[in-house]
Each structure stands twice: as C-alpha cells, then as structure tokens.
Amino acid sequence: MEHWRRGQVQCLEEVVDVPRISEALRLFRSWSAAQGLLGSRTEYVARTPHRQTLRFSRSGDPAIEESYRTHWVSPALSEKKRERLSAKQSRAPELVAIRPLNAEWTCHRCGGTGDLLMMDSPGPACLRCVGLDDLEFLPAGDALLTRRLKARSPRYAVVVRFSKTRGRYERQGLLVEPKALADAR
Ligand SMILES: [Zn+2]
C-alpha cells in the first residue's frame, strides 16, 4: 500500500490479492447500498512531487477504478458535512523527504546525490530535481511551530528517517519555506 501511495508500483492490483479484493468490494458495495449509504467519489493522489492520480486496477477500466475510489457515507450527514469529508479525504498526502541510512544513492534524474531524497518514479530523486531544494529544515520538537508552518508554508515536506530498531520511518522535522519559517518564528 505504501509503495503504491509513493508511486513505486503501477497500480494497486499489482500488490494485492485481486480475487479477494474484488469479492470484498462486491460484498461491500451491495452491503452499502442495502444500508442506504451514499457513494462519494474520492481522489487518490500519489505521495510524490508530481501528485499524479493513483491507479487501482491493472485494466484501468473506468467502472473498476470508480468502485475502488468510492467511499460510502451516511445519508444522516448534512450535505455540507459530506462535502467537507470528501474534500478532506481527497486531499493530497504530505510530501515525504527521506534521510537515507545509506548515503550512497543516486538521483535517477541528474545522477547526483544529497542528504535527502524523495521517492519518485522510477527511483529516488534529489531535492533540486523535484524543485524543493530551497526549503529550510525545521527539526521536530516544537509542536506549535510545526503546526503553524504546516498551515502557512505553501510548500512543505515531512522529513523522515528509517529506524532499524523500531522497524519504521520516524519523523525528524519539516522542510518549509524560509519566509514562512522566519514569519512563524
Ligand atoms: Zn537530481
């Protein structure tokens, strides 16, 4: 799922058990219809600088894509609430910059390297190539400043590093617009 979200696989069906997912979708659709739930189309955008629309099916068949994209919501919610929910769920995910454990990596676009990389398709890219090398690093720790900058910096990316002991990526801070950082401080 994470690989798909980062645009590292062509479509979700490459990495899931398709017959089981199709059966689950079919059951879920008929259950949702029986409950009188309303279908709401949701955008799925890649966690990459390109923000491309994510594809679910191998075939790319519009009807299949639609069934994956549809979220089902209670008709008891007001139209305004349904719209807000749909907008929230369609929002593009945060950009993530990775501080690699292995310093020897190569940008697939320019052949260069750097302290930080961004997962791009078909490989990692340096910040200069994705147009984010002017951003400034704000270390994690100040929750208020972090929240302010997420709201005020037109572009930002979360910086993560893989923790071998915990077996997952951990947040190290944010890359933000220098002006937004100066203003927020
Ligand atoms: Zn590059």
**Could you read off the pLDDT of 59-101 as tens digits, one per residue?**
999 999 999 999 999 999 999 999 898 888 888 788 999 999 9
- 77 and 104 inside one domain: no
Check whether residue 62 and residue 101 sit in a common domain: no
Cα–ligand 1 centroid distance for 97 (angstroms) = 13
Q: For position 23, what pLDDT does the model report?
A: 96
Statement to judge: residues 71 and 99 lie in one domain: no
What's the structural domain count of the chain? 2
How far, in Å, from the CA of 124 to the mean position of ligand 1?
A: 9
Contact 107, 125 (CB under 8 A): yes
Q: Do residues 102 and 56 share a domain?
A: no
Chain segment 20-39, per-residue pLDDT in tens: 999 999 999 999 999 999 99
CA of 114 to the centre of ligand 1 (A): 9
CA distance 166 to 50: 30
Question: Do residues 115 and 135 both lie within one domain?
Answer: yes
Range of the domain at 112: 95-184
CA of 142 to the centre of ligand 1 (A): 31
CA distances from residue 88 to 62, 91, 98, 108, 169 in whole angstroms, order as listed: 23, 5, 25, 32, 24
